[in-house]
Amino acid sequence: MKTLAFKFPKLGRKREYKTSIEKYWKKIITEQELNERLSILQKDISNTYKSYDIDIFPFNDISKYDYLFDTAIMTGVYNPETLDNYFELCRGGSALEMKKWFNTNYHYLVPNLQNEDEFNFKFNPDIFGDFKKYNTVSVIGPFTFLKLSKNVSNFSVNLKKLVNIYSNLFDMFSTVILEEPSFVLELSTDEINLIKEVYSILGKNKGNSKLYIISYYEDIDFLTELYDLPVDGIGIDIVKGTKNLDMILKNGFPEDKELIIGCVDGTNIWRTEIDKVVEKINSIRKIKKNIIISNAGPLFHLPISVENESNIENNLINKIAFAEERLKELNLILKKVNGKEIEVWNHKSDFGIDVKVKERVSNLTEKDFNKSTNSIKRKTLQKERLNLPEYPTTTIGSFPQTSEARKIRRKFKLNKISSEDYDNFVKSKIKDLISKQEELNLDVFVHGEFERSDMVEFFAEKLNGIATTDHGWIISFGSRVYRPPIIFGDISRKGNMTLKEIKFAQTLTEKPVKGMLTGPVTIIAWSFERKDIPIKNIAYQLGLVILDEIKELENAGIKIVQIDEPAIREKAPIKKSKWSDYFSWAVNSFNLATNTKPETQIHTHMCYSKFDEIINEILKMNFDVISIEASRNSGGIVTDFPDNFKRQIGIGVWDIHSPMIPDIEQMEDTIKKVKVKIPYENIWINPDCGLKTRKWEEVIPSLKNMVSLAYKLRENK
């Protein structure tokens, strides 16, 4: 038995990837220096693989920005002549669209094929030094590449052309790993036939090289159909995929191919139960000899090493594994299968258990998930209470986070300033923002979220049952990193979480201040979740935490509360057959959290602008107002909503992902489109999303224009 590992996180133990790339962007270092730094990082990765005796690993774990984009370059869809041209396509004015990578929080760049019919092979190993001495390469396979690209004129014709492009890799490398996560989608018969056809060609072209296809994130529904292909190995994920192993036990596996078993989790951090995996592998070994074990899914969804953490309690630290520990686990499994003694790895101790929390969840009944007052009645109650003008204006929550705010927060965390000084700082920011909002004459205010580093980590720090890390950074896109918290136990509030700031903000103004909370699905999606209880129960525990918080806000006189759920679509399972189960708990957790007084107006915010497939689920959520992104498609999004939609919609009229200041006419066009479908009484005006990453110089004039637009619309309904 051999071991294989791939896509180790490129970030670096001290986030060297991020600092180097950003230094290059700021022209502090040259291209050559950047390449040198990245090749040092790549060497470190290769050495890490070697230190755990991994037999097969690629030499190219590092991309300068995104793996799928690099595949688009390898196939000649893009031809940036310089590194600056490359980054221009990643993040400049001509940047490609970004999308969530399967159901993870990683974003990839979407190749736009725009009738691209000719491809050219170009593999530029500039940062990898003398790559020839390595022999294994890993790239996104042709099917996944095309499946995730847009404007593909003719899928099958293009795929067949791509096969010739990919075949060049066989001249360069003795082992070619093609990652095909799209194989786990629910594919049509035509697509499956096409896959068989093109992989037969690839298999014929491979010469003396080895060709491995690796799938991950789920089961491949048509696994046995790949059995006859002339490839050397097929990889499956037995952590997230639960059926493939049984399928193989039942149907066998071809003798001429290696079976690559992804058995250590690439997307979550709980230590692998070595004994259980060994048992599974031994059962397979009875019918299949040449097995390779590997990581299940790329390792870049994990932080680099648990070794870097010094503030995680002992009970937890010896239960978790990051990327480096996954390599260690592969090594432990190998040893154990070979009959060797290994160290104790899975510590069996219960902790983080809170019987009261568990009981509260198990006592929930139907009525906890249903509002007794329907949305029409709520609308009347809220209208009277809030007395807002038509086309009310608001923002999504955050305002520019200056480096000053980040510095002070860091000092506070390191105990370098007192909590009193920190509170005073936050209060001064809130005060300043309230007067700015008064000046702008917005209708519903926010407190600005100056106390929050991140919309999930902030809540994690205030909850029992969730731990945060010091160095557990992972990349969400480009050089953007975040630290997913770890949900390890039953969740309850340490105290109130948002009351102090929101209550303070409300004392400063007559206008309603919106309470701002992150929803259960998003907290789960952007954390590592526990696996010992059903995910539904985690969501309900979080739902109750939010419910308690809203009740406190209500008691303090807060009339509007917004629950942000930007991850609700992303967290939806890859296979649609699993959607109804997922949406049932996702929707329930929202309705549980917001089952409060009918006169409290519940807003929800979702970042994206495409609801087509999920709209019926979204409509089951008991919100009163939903704010959505609408500026990029100038309001086209409302076509996803049904004709009889009676609730209110906040239309994003300002694309906050760009530094441009929208003018009134441009925003008016968006509303005009929306008005065709949505009665004007139900329209709110807001930016697409939070303003955290924007500059004040952009925010003030843009909001001015937004408020002027509302005035204009009120005159001319």
- Residues near ligand GLN (CB under 6 A) are 396-398, 449, 455, 516, 564, 566, 605, 607, 689-690, 692
Rg value, the chain, Cα: 26
Residue 116, CB-side half-sphere exposure with 13 Å CA sphere? 21
What is the Cα–Cα distance from 74 to 512, expressed in whole angstroms? 54
- Closest-CA residue to 91 (of 71, 64, 123): 64
What does 398 interact with, of ligand GLN, Zn ion, none (CB < 5 to 8 A by kind)?
ligand GLN
Q: Is 107 a catalytic residue?
A: no
Name the 3-class secondary structure at 467.
strand
Residue selected from 127, 187, 558, 689 as contacting Zn ion according to rule CB under 5 A: 689
Contact between 607 and Zn ion per CB under 5 A: yes
Instruction: Report in angstroms how near the CB of residue 452 gets to ligand GLN at its nearest.
Output: 8
- Closest-CA residue to 455 (of 441, 438, 476): 476
- Point out the catalytic residue in the list 301, 471, 603, 657: 657
Instruction: Report in angstroms how near the CB of residue 523 gets to ligand GLN at its nearest.
Output: 12
Give how far the C-alpha of residue 333 lies from the chain's centroid of Cα atoms, to the nearest Å.
30
What does 505 interact with, of Zn ion, ligand GLN, none (CB < 5 to 8 A by kind)?
none
What does 195 interact with, of ligand GLN, Zn ion, none (CB < 5 to 8 A by kind)?
none
- Closest-CA residue to 577 (of 249, 171, 185, 247): 185
Choose the binding region for Zn ion from 145-153, 157-165, 290-298, 682-690 (rule: CB under 5 A): 682-690
Instruction: Report in angstroms how near the CB of residue 592 gets to ligand GLN at its nearest.
Output: 20
Instruction: Report in angstroms how near the CB of residue 629 gets to Zn ion at its nearest.
Output: 7
Pairing state between β 98-100 and 2-4: unpaired
Instruction: Report in angstroms how near the CB of residue 521 gets to Zn ion at its nearest.
Output: 14
What does 617 interact with, of Zn ion, ligand GLN, none (CB < 5 to 8 A by kind)?
none
What does 516 interact with, of ligand GLN, Zn ion, none (CB < 5 to 8 A by kind)?
ligand GLN
In the complex with ligand GLN, which residue's Cβ is closer, 58 or 566?
A: 566
Give how far the C-alpha of residue 387 lies from the chain's centroid of Cα atoms, to the nearest Å.
38
Q: Torsions phi, psi of 50, nearest 5? A: -65, -35
Contact between 703 and Zn ion per CB under 5 A: no
Choose the binding region for Zn ion from 230-238, 337-345, 458-466, 599-607 (rule: CB under 5 A): 599-607
- Closest-CA residue to 158 (of 189, 115, 201, 199): 115
What is the Cα–Cα distance from 191 to 183, expressed in whole angstroms? 10
In the complex with ligand GLN, which residue's Cβ is closer, 233 or 400?
A: 400
Instruction: Report in angstroms how near the CB of residue 110 gets to ligand GLN at its nearest.
Output: 20
What does 66 interact with, of ligand GLN, Zn ion, none (CB < 5 to 8 A by kind)?
none
Instruction: Report in angstroms how near the CB of residue 635 gets to ligand GLN at its nearest.
Output: 20
What does 692 interact with, of ligand GLN, Zn ion, none (CB < 5 to 8 A by kind)?
ligand GLN
In the complex with Zn ion, which residue's Cβ is closer, 170 or 654?
A: 654
Choose the binding region for Zn ion from 218-226, 234-242, 263-271, 684-692 (rule: CB under 5 A): 684-692
Contact between 226 and Zn ion per CB under 5 A: no
Contacts 24+ apart (CB under 8 A), 268-271: 268/528, 268/529, 268/531, 269/302, 269/303, 269/320, 269/321, 269/322, 269/486, 269/528, 270/319, 270/320, 270/321, 270/528, 270/530, 270/531, 271/318, 271/319, 271/320, 271/321, 271/325, 271/329, 271/345, 271/346
Q: Could you tell me which residues come within 8 angstroms of residue 630 by beta carbon, excluding any fewer than 6 positions away? A: 609, 636, 637, 638, 651, 652, 653, 670, 674, 688
In the complex with Zn ion, which residue's Cβ is closer, 140 or 630?
A: 630
Instruction: Report in angstroms how near the CB of residue 111 gets to ligand GLN at its nearest.
Output: 25
What is the Cα–Cα distance from 683 to 671, expressed in whole angstroms? 9
What is the Cα–Cα distance from 100 to 102, expressed in whole angstroms? 6
Q: Torsions phi, psi of 399, nearest 5? A: -120, 170
Q: Which residue number has the CB closest to ligand GLN?
A: 690
Instruction: Tell me which amino acid residue 249 is.
Output: L
In the complex with ligand GLN, which residue's Cβ is closer, 449 or 655?
A: 449
Choose the binding region for Zn ion from 365-373, 406-414, 681-689, 705-713 (rule: CB under 5 A): 681-689
What is the Cα–Cα distance from 155 to 162, expressed in whole angstroms? 10
In the complex with ligand GLN, which residue's Cβ is closer, 37 or 605?
A: 605
In the complex with ligand GLN, which residue's Cβ is closer, 490 or 565?
A: 565
Residue positions annotated with a catalytic role: 657
Contact set with Zn ion (CB under 5 A): 607, 689
